[in-house]
Structure 1
């Protein structure tokens, strides 16, 4: 039986040019399609796939969904992009354009001015009887000195009438001229704020990506936010019982332990901030003072809960970097402590890549602990999920807005 995830290149061509001729690229793509025996065009409207009649009597299924534009600033990013796209399962881009920038070698001035172009048709088998689904990829490698021209050059390569996505997996999207240029030609942007590391100013700049006053500005997706899905779900489940919901109005302390350095070299700092932003925006908390560095390491800040019975309540927030070998993922643990008449302790902890442990105790509910299967999502899973999002995620936007205000 053929696997749904099996993808293989079926036709490809490569060339170098000192001028990027988009017309020549389209001609080459049409030639590759004609070699398969089908028409060069893949349909008029967007949809999940388009069936075409093969001139040889067979059938072709061509993806007609969206354009994916991805940028690699180094070999790591290039490998991540190609591997993730090759493993996509349920929602494939009609056309993927990968831009790779390379350092300029002054000793090789001839190649520094050239564009390397690689065009490829890929296919994915979707069943034993159905024809394979086919889609295009365009890879353009150029010197970093060409960055200022890339946005205007790739815009004509985006297939018409399809939604355009930009995926920037690296850590240099903040205040990057190429990123800012590409934002202007796409509908949705996908980043990973974990790649910003422990740079508070970089995370704070995430706020600039959200333009609430311009409905035509691209929507933002963040892999760090997707990784937090099981954390949000498990924390919310603590407070499902009506008697435990009362603890929400007496929370006194929130402690979040995050990976100082994740297994891929990034950090859990942004995830910790997003978790605070989610809690605060859902529960109506305000900022009393911005985050301050603690002498012992990490950050702290006082928050203010909405007034009840005429009195507001202060919440002590602590964000603690964990340098232990066990802290290889975004967050290590989240602990919420409630006091007063409705006291309780609620804790979620990740123990490995597949499992999380929750524990809670209140005066009315004795201590209980359970292990939950919560496998960390792969890059291709998160990319596939983001490629099926077209509207705004208000919860994420409110969380990142609160989180970045903490850093001002």
Structure 2
């Protein structure tokens, strides 16, 4: 037995290589063997499965990272996992498969909480992955596609489109996109076309949920009168690979406050600026990438000062997962807020339980696309 994550009680056995045509019978044999070994002492063996989760990766390196996240996911949300790798090197033929089960101890026995099917393919053979996935789905259960590639989903071509057709929900993550402007535009158009048929979710949306809550609290008219009406400057500093997430945050602000994107441009390799307008008010958002750090937001300043009145609040990420108000750059008293950074597996597990579209997210995505349309490279 191999523990997969220090925070999870779920364990698994080493994967077993198997032919594609024998996947279902192979899983049944693993289940029967596990049941026979562990029920001998009259222990109860339960089998739980709430959904199908298809995970697509571009490379074996991505799949290796994902493998460490599966145990905490199925610990919270039992599922049949189909991990597909599109650009690998199977030892024999264009496709290669392996199977495993995940299980955890209960008070009165054991629970099988995950069945895992890995299918790796050559680049040429990747077009067969959707048909393999289709044949391995558990019927009558909701299906989620987690597009774990660092490419925007629609750029995955037919592999993505066919996998998406199998799913009720598509999860993706825009952290690390090489061309954020292009990725946002492509993804927004695709979401708009699918918004009445499928749930689409960006993990970045949950990743900066704490920032959204904090901003809503401190800029509430009761806490900061006239701040939203007089707001004219926002400064954001983020770590490497976090520009797409920052872009979405700016889109959320624009959509919630009814700002119209006027123009945007690149000031340098690490700095961007946008201008918005609402009625007669001009708003500038300046975004800067820090030279090092995690893909997080580190600095956020709101300025609604005007002649004779100081109105500023500046947040900075502190150590120990906290965000603090910087006294020297703020017109409000300093405070510190909890800012836990959730693991990616936690974000995925939370979203698997969601079956409703998020209109606020979709509106933020539309505003992000409007920002893309006026952006000048």
Q: Same fold (TM over 0.5)?
A: yes
Alpha carbons 2:57, 2:148 under 8 Å: kept = yes
Alpha carbons 1:334, 1:347 under 8 Å: kept = yes
Aligned to 1:373: 338
Alignment of 1:294-305 (within 5 A): 294-295=267-268, 297-305=270-278
Structure 1 length-normalised TM: 0.81
Match of 1:331 among 284, 297, 300: 297
Return the offset for 1:202: 2.1
Structure 1 residues 14-69: Cα deviation after superposition (integer angstroms, max 9, x where no partner): 224xxx42xx321222222222347xxxxxxxxxxxxxx96984322211200111
Return the offset for 1:213: 6.1
Q: Which runs of 5+ in 2 are unaligned?
A: none
Return the offset for 1:103: 4.5
1:207 aligns with 2:188: yes
Alpha carbons 2:51, 2:79 under 8 Å: kept = yes
Aligned to 1:26: 24
Q: Report the CA distance shift for 1:30/1:104 in structure 2 as closer, same or farther (over 3 A).
A: closer
Aligned to 1:264: none
Structure 1 residues 143-200: Cα deviation after superposition (integer angstroms, max 9, x where no partner): 1111112112211211001110111222123411211221111111111101204542
Aligned to 1:355: 322
1:131 aligns with 2:117: no
> 2:249 and 2:283 mapped to 1: Cα distance?
15
> 2:168 and 2:255 mapped to 1: Cα distance?
26
Aligned to 1:74: 59
1:6 aligns with 2:4: no
Q: Report the CA distance shift for 1:249/1:87 in structure 2 as closer, same or farther (over 3 A).
A: same
Q: Report the CA distance shift for 1:359/1:394 in structure 2 as closer, same or farther (over 3 A).
A: farther
1:191 aligns with 2:175: no
Match of 2:131 among 152, 167, 175: 152
Aligned to 2:228: 248
> 2:119 and 2:207 mapped to 1: Cα distance?
30
> 1:104 and 1:132 mapped to 2: Cα distance?
34
> 2:354 and 2:148 mapped to 1: Cα distance?
17
Q: Report the CA distance shift for 1:68/1:296 in structure 2 as closer, same or farther (over 3 A).
A: closer
Alpha carbons 1:257, 1:321 under 8 Å: kept = yes
Give the match's secondary structure for 1:76: helix
Alpha carbons 2:56, 2:84 under 8 Å: kept = yes
> 1:112 and 1:201 mapped to 2: Cα distance?
37
Return the offset for 1:304: 0.6
Alignment of 1:97-116 (within 5 A): 97-103=82-88, 111=91, 113-116=93-96
Is the helix fraction higher in 1 or 2? 2
> 2:141 and 2:299 mapped to 1: Cα distance?
41
Return the offset for 1:270: 0.8
Match of 1:383 among 348, 355, 361: 348
Aligned to 2:155: 175
Aligned to 1:83: 68
Q: Report the CA distance shift for 1:380/1:10 in structure 2 as closer, same or farther (over 3 A).
A: same
Structure 2 length-normalised TM: 0.87
Alpha carbons 2:234, 2:302 under 8 Å: kept = yes
Alpha carbons 1:67, 1:162 under 8 Å: kept = yes
Count residues with an aligned counterpart.
365
